[in-house]
Structure 1
Amino acid sequence: MVKDKATVVIVGGGATGVGILRDLSMRGIDALLIEKLDMVNGASSRYHGLLHSGARYAVKDQEAARECIEENTILRRIGKSCVEATTGMFVQVEGDDPDFVEPWLKGCKESGIPTREISKEEALRIEPNLSRKLVVAYEVPDGAIDGFRMSWQNLQSAARYGGRYKTYTEIIGVNIENAVVKSITVRDNVTKEEYEIECEILVNAAGPWAGQVAHMAGLECNVSPSKGTLIAFNQRISNRVVNRLRKPSNGDIFVPHGSITILGTSSITIPDPEDTSTSWEEVEELMKTGEGVFEHLRDYRILRVFAGSRPLYVPKGAEGGRNASRGFVTIDHEKEDGLKGMMTICGGKFTTYRLMAEKFCDVLAPKLHNTAKCRTAEEDLVPEVPEAEKKAARQYFPSYGVNLAATRLGVDKFGDVVKTLKEQPETREVLCECENVTMAEIQRIAAEPTSHSVADVRRRTRMGMGTCQGNYCALRSAAVANKLFKNKLEGCNDSLGDMKNFLQARWKGITPVMAGKTLREAEMTRGMYELLFNVNGGRRG
């Protein structure tokens, strides 16, 4: 049964997909994006959150390096509230190859990446936790970026131009007639309903799942999922992004985010992109490497470990894993395979998602006789909340809370939340102290049609993503949010079940590092929820 239609249907709700939706919508093309889970549930949120300056690629891939520094500048401008302008530092310690410095500096210069040498004394003053075995340091314009927030702001921007999106909508078939894509069959993963969506062009932007989507159309797409494991620590180890100045390898990037630090990453080729498992061996490898930069790394408590799957495109005969290109590829299946109405984009990195979308849409738009130019670099993703509004609302928020809420919510939702806080004083209660999230904000996000569980609310508000990892806010938020969901995910029919699922997801990231300070914290969590709610080992007694 045909239930919906769009000129272009985009499969995949990561940074690439939402970037394409925004670009097409701004060109006046009717576009619909579908995602089988919640938005930004794959590699676009499961990475270290580095806004690349391009310096990491300056030796091996100068084209990628130039793209990064150009997009770095653009994203800082159009997505101000998503970027923390930390700057970055590339450092060498004793034992690193000194001969790597000269070609790296040459590559940065040729790629247009500004660098500044920092004396050892200045580097240690700026970042006192750095190893005393530091040899040399250079400053570069790296930064930290919130993948969740930037992706959702792309969706908000697209919606202003008529772009549409559906979460928990999974493609299960591609319907072809006479070598032309006519529609796709999808399943609503909340209601389990199956139906068709008609389209003129199907865009496969499914990241590491792109090969599976291509297979539904009888095609092959050589995407090699590469799992990267990362570690989140309970505080800012550094105030700047810190990279190891050497050939890119595992465990050589530290990225500060808010009150935490993320260390990454590994690169392991895997057959199944759903595999986000982590192990103590992977953690130990990252820790040993990381200690070369921050020698007291083991003094910090590990919050959790997580992994994401990179969608690396590997042409036949080429190498995968760490040696695979971080570039992207556009595949026009009409030219390549004789199938009209389907295109695939894969590869790339978060920093260049906007550029990837622009180049891809420059190929797609003429197929629809659309000659509009890309404007995504010219317009901010969302309007900023005026300072006067934030000042007037400060009385309703906890300390620093107003700026955090304004950044998370954007001008429209911020106004709704402030109105609720003003009219209903009980909603001023802070449900998540780590991220300063009020009850009013939880209620506003939970009431949206794309929210079906506390985990969905977490991705939009950062509730449960701070240093306590949901120890205290899981129950409060589940109790408030669950009754507001229009439709609930399986297993989230009541607040206790929703809370249990939320905690189980957090537990997955703690299990591989269950030792020392992390074990003590986990035992406290287990004791609280087992004694108070009889929640034990994922079971309700």
Structure 2
Amino acid sequence: MQYATVVVIGGGATGTGILRDLAMRGIKAVLLEQRDLAYGTSSRFHGLLHSGGRYAVKDPESARECIEENRILRRIGRYCVEETEGFFVRLPEDDEKYEQQWVEACSRLGIPAVPISPQEARRLEPCLSPRIKTVYRVPDAAIDGFRLVWQNAASAAKYGGSIRTYSEVIKIEHVNNRVVGVKVRNTLTGETDAIACDYVINAAGPWVGQVGALAGVTVNVKPDRGTLIAFNHRLSNRVINRLRPPSDADIFVPHGTVSILGTTSVPSDRPDDFQVRTEDVLSQLRVGQVLFENLEKYRILRAFAGTRPLYSSDAKGRAAARTFAVIDHAKTDGLYGLISVAGGKLTTYRLMAEKTVDVVCQYLNIKEPCRTALEPLIPEHPPEKINEARRFFPSFGVEKAVARLGSNLDGVLNRLKQDNTARQLVCECELVTLAEIREVAAMDTSFCLDDIRRKTRMGMGTCQGTFCALRSVGAVVAEGLGKDRTPCGLLKDFLQSRRSGIRPVLWGSQLREAELMRAVYGATLNIDGVVRCERK
């Protein structure tokens, strides 16, 4: 039986952040995730690194946490952050009194909010509506949730932390009101095993309540579904927030060559409520169009949804605070060794991890201070290494590849040096080489093409996998990925996962793109194996 001092449940930003903190303090820990890392909320959001401005008026505690962690993440996770800055924009129909409250709240909380003229704002962002009345610059930024999670995982591994994906905890064992271990089921094979431990940290995001129930305790987390829209254009170079109380469709976040509009807030009974409704997309487009009046002319790439893990005794939706809680169940339920962390935001994940690990350290009498705010997630690549990478990657994709690959850069470079065929691009949209596909396919946390996608962004660009999906299959099969699946099965699962986000926005350019994908795989390649009889 495997043993670890601490078992962490949940493979999002908070869970991997906790694993990293535990490992850096010398505590033996293993993280368990029921699917792939960053499968849940940490990748199903608008990718905004909050300045705190959004919460300044109604949730000052969250706002203060956001601006402090914003500065830390820019420093320790620079390869995950695009320093776009942001605008808060008021339109004629928005309340001037709220603007004054917002300005005063930002000043109290130390959030820089610098007024600029609407003319200057439109010079910097020409697509903005000419109807804007007032504009403020704030230190918002864009952050890549996938990359953040995997770089936390890589840093944790460097210090001895271990990770098991596709490992669902089905029972938290306790004897005489003390945690003694967990029972785990492999979600790919159905096999079960057990891990003995002294402490369990429940960091499962929207699943926190379900995980708590495995130990017989109640954690009052209410999943809240948010739908988001990805456009195949960079509508602005800055995050654009509407200056009004938080509501639907009032944030545009640029990511690389795309923009994400979000989000809705709908209470849900399920943590995996990822179903996107076309009516939610259409309603957001109507609201978002007041900021970008030509919005309907831009192609929608896909729509997706995630659930927020709101922690509150009674408030729901946007009325619930975005602060977090660390729950020591020894004090609340008399169950020693179980600690839950609930609520919060991706922007504050590191702080959540620090406060959670502090509780464990008190029990273990460990005095080692938290260093996660001081040490970068991955070491800075030396200039000579980046210059070497320029020999193999497209000149306009070097910085992108270096940021994405992180600690895997050396492995990919070695593959590129040894095999000239590894230089070919598998995904032109995201500039992903065959060497990179092979490198991540060989990782022990890769089991399907969607796992490759989350690590590399393959299939997340303009074509949504129309061309790169087929190209990648040979590479991943050669590395032994999905041994229990046929190449055709791997390909069909991947295309279906892409299709789920395309289906709610099937009109205009996206409909034509979807029909092209259907023609390539359904007609030309006959992926479904349909037998057609010729007429005599």
Both structures adopt the same fold (TM-score exceeding 0.5): yes
What residue number does 2:344 align with?
348
Deviates more, 1:359-368 or 1:226-235: 359-368
Name the SS of the counterpart of 2:79 in structure 1: helix
Name the SS of the counterpart of 1:410 in structure 2: helix
Instruction: Supply the AA of the counterpart residue of 2:512.
Output: R
What residue number does 1:251 align with?
249
Structure 1 residue 205, shift from structure 2 partner: 0.6
- Please tell me the root mean square deviation across aligned C-alpha atoms, in Å: 1.2
Aligned counterpart in structure 1 of residue 438 of structure 2, from 443, 449, 454: 443
- Provide the C-alpha distance between the structure 2 equivalents of 1:381 and 1:89, rounded to a whole number of angstroms: 28
Instruction: Supply the AA of the counterpart residue of 2:67.
Output: I
- Provide the C-alpha distance between the structure 2 equivalents of 1:299 and 1:234, rounded to a whole number of angstroms: 11
Deviates more, 1:103-112 or 1:360-369: 360-369
Structure 1 residue 420, shift from structure 2 partner: 1.5
- 1:425-440 equivalences under 5 Å are 425-440=420-435
What residue number does 1:500 align with?
492
Structure 1 residue 401, shift from structure 2 partner: 2.4
What residue number does 1:92 align with?
90
Matched, 1:225 2:213: no
- Provide the C-alpha distance between the structure 2 equivalents of 1:38 and 1:415, rounded to a whole number of angstroms: 23
What residue number does 1:512 align with?
504
Decide whether the 8 Å contact of 1:210 with 1:221 is kept in 2. Answer: yes
- Provide the C-alpha distance between the structure 2 equivalents of 1:540 and 1:456, rounded to a whole number of angstroms: 28
Decide whether the 8 Å contact of 2:6 with 2:28 is kept in 1. Answer: yes
Aligned counterpart in structure 2 of residue 385 of structure 1, from 358, 381, 385: 381
- 1:101-116 equivalences under 5 Å are 101-116=99-114
Decide whether the 8 Å contact of 1:91 with 1:245 is kept in 2. Answer: yes
Structure 2: state its 5+ residue gaps.
532-536
- Provide the C-alpha distance between the structure 2 equivalents of 1:93 and 1:502, rounded to a whole number of angstroms: 42
- Provide the C-alpha distance between the structure 2 equivalents of 1:410 and 1:205, rounded to a whole number of angstroms: 25
Instruction: Supply the AA of the counterpart residue of 1:94.
Output: P
- Provide the C-alpha distance between the structure 1 equivalents of 2:489 and 2:525, rounded to a whole number of angstroms: 11
Name the SS of the counterpart of 2:133 in structure 1: strand
Decide whether the 8 Å contact of 2:482 with 2:490 is kept in 1. Answer: no
- Provide the C-alpha distance between the structure 1 equivalents of 2:530 and 2:505, rounded to a whole number of angstroms: 25
Decide whether the 8 Å contact of 2:248 with 2:263 is kept in 1. Answer: yes
- Provide the C-alpha distance between the structure 2 equivalents of 1:274 and 1:375, rounded to a whole number of angstroms: 33
Decide whether the 8 Å contact of 1:124 with 1:130 is kept in 2. Answer: yes
Decide whether the 8 Å contact of 1:259 with 1:467 is kept in 2. Answer: no
Decide whether the 8 Å contact of 1:38 with 1:167 is kept in 2. Answer: yes
Instruction: Supply the AA of the counterpart residue of 1:100.
Output: Y
Name the SS of the counterpart of 1:417 in structure 2: helix
Matched, 1:480 2:475: yes
**Structure 1 runs of 4+ off > 3 angstroms?**
485-488
Matched, 1:169 2:167: yes
- Provide the C-alpha distance between the structure 1 equivalents of 2:156 and 2:185, rounded to a whole number of angstroms: 24
Decide whether the 8 Å contact of 1:260 with 1:467 is kept in 2. Answer: no
- Provide the C-alpha distance between the structure 1 equivalents of 2:241 and 2:84, rounded to a whole number of angstroms: 13
- Provide the C-alpha distance between the structure 1 equivalents of 2:51 and 2:343, rounded to a whole number of angstroms: 18
What residue number does 2:335 align with?
339
Decide whether the 8 Å contact of 2:477 with 2:487 is kept in 1. Answer: yes
Structure 1 residue 487, shift from structure 2 partner: 4.9
Matched, 1:274 2:272: yes
Structure 1 residue 540, shift from structure 2 partner: 6.6
- 1:31-430 equivalences under 5 Å are 31-315=29-313, 318-411=314-407, 413-430=408-425
Instruction: Supply the AA of the counterpart residue of 2:517.
Output: T
- Provide the C-alpha distance between the structure 2 equivalents of 1:271 and 1:410, rounded to a whole number of angstroms: 37
Name the SS of the counterpart of 2:374 in structure 1: coil
Structure 1 residue 486, shift from structure 2 partner: 5.1
Instruction: Supply the AA of the counterpart residue of 1:507.
Output: R
* 1:131-174 CA-partner distances (Å, limit 9, x unpaired): 11111111000000000101111111111111111111100111
* 1:455-489 CA-partner distances (Å, limit 9, x unpaired): 1011011111111111110100122112313554x
Instruction: Supply the AA of the counterpart residue of 1:528.
Output: V
- Provide the C-alpha distance between the structure 1 equivalents of 2:14 and 2:443, rounded to a whole number of angstroms: 23
- Provide the C-alpha distance between the structure 1 equivalents of 2:234 and 2:480, rounded to a whole number of angstroms: 35
Change (3 A) 1:42 1:540: farther
- Provide the C-alpha distance between the structure 1 equivalents of 2:480 and 2:46, rounded to a whole number of angstroms: 31
Structure 1 residue 497, shift from structure 2 partner: 1.3
Instruction: Supply the AA of the counterpart residue of 1:422.
Output: K
Decide whether the 8 Å contact of 2:448 with 2:481 is kept in 1. Answer: no
Instruction: Supply the AA of the counterpart residue of 1:420.
Output: R
Deviates more, 1:385-394 or 1:203-212: 385-394
Aligned counterpart in structure 2 of residue 455 of structure 1, from 450, 458, 464: 450
Structure 1 residue 390, shift from structure 2 partner: 1.4
- Provide the C-alpha distance between the structure 1 equivalents of 2:3 and 2:265, rounded to a whole number of angstroms: 39
* 1:63-115 CA-partner distances (Å, limit 9, x unpaired): 11111111101000000100000000000112111111111000101111111
Name the SS of the counterpart of 2:234 in structure 1: coil
Aligned counterpart in structure 1 of residue 21 of structure 2, from 20, 23, 26: 23
Instruction: Supply the AA of the counterpart residue of 2:137.
Output: E
Structure 1 residue 319, shift from structure 2 partner: 1.3
* 1:415-468 CA-partner distances (Å, limit 9, x unpaired): 221122122101111000011110001000101111001110110111111111
Decide whether the 8 Å contact of 2:62 with 2:321 is kept in 1. Answer: no
Normalised TM-score (structure 1): 0.96
- Provide the C-alpha distance between the structure 2 equivalents of 1:374 and 1:419, rounded to a whole number of angstroms: 35
Name the SS of the counterpart of 2:150 in structure 1: helix
Instruction: Supply the AA of the counterpart residue of 2:184.
Output: V
Structure 1 residue 399, shift from structure 2 partner: 2.9
Instruction: Supply the AA of the counterpart residue of 1:327.
Output: T
Change (3 A) 1:455 1:54: same
Instruction: Supply the AA of the counterpart residue of 2:317.
Output: G
Name the SS of the counterpart of 1:535 in structure 2: coil
Structure 1: state its 5+ residue gaps.
none
Name the SS of the counterpart of 1:128 in structure 2: coil
Instruction: Supply the AA of the counterpart residue of 2:399.
Output: N
